Amino acid sequence: MLDPGHNPTNYLHTKEINRLVGIGTNRKACDTTGTETDSGYAEASYTLDVSRRVRALLTARGAKVVLTQDGDRPYGPCVDERARIGNQAHADAALSIHADGAPAADRGFHVIAPKSLHAGAADTRAIAAPSLRLATTLRAHFKDATGEPFADYLGGGKGLMVRGDLGGLNLSIVPKAFIECGNMRNSQDAAELTDPKWRQRAALGIADGLTAFLEGSSQGSAGGKR
């Protein structure tokens, strides 16, 4: 299951996306508009484009791919529904695709895995370990394919974080991760994110990471032998 972050027309539905929904541990907004580059290239456009590219690559390899949205919804879906789509599909792996909106001086990508928690409607204890393996495998293959550095502004520069405050991860019952492919506010990252050729490399890195995870094979050069 691929989850293209946000939605290109969320900005037209602020009332709907500001509605609070349960994320297991507490309540948060249904969705947000996402960020954009200084030139106005929206995160939601990036995530949808890359998700479609990943789908094409994985489908050609024989995978069945479900998207949470394919530009076919006026807004959202909400973060709780995004998790539910992956759960109901009994996905072997799920990935939320995003790009960050950090300060302009910050650069790089990072991958997020769910924290092992049991609170309210959230119970990630069974998926925490495989999700961390998914995240580290994705991190290695994405770096190999794109050359993008690990984020220098969080996670100790390791390109990996474990969090318990993201509804799409908290409510998942299948192995799931979340990738921030770069910082849209950084000029170097923005030049890459807006380049179709680089987006194809990003899609290849994601597809290779998901394939390696599903096949149980070794990680890329950033985390071990291929």
Active site residues: 180
- Which parts of the chain fold into alpha helices (H)? 14-17, 43-60, 79-88, 128-146, 167-170, 187-193, 196-215
The DSSP code sequence of 160-184 is EEEES--HHHHT-SS-EEEEEEEET
On the CB side of 129, CA atoms within 13 Å amount to: 2
Give CA–CA dist 183/43, Å, rounded.
Answer: 10
Note whether 108 and 183 are within 8 A (CB): yes
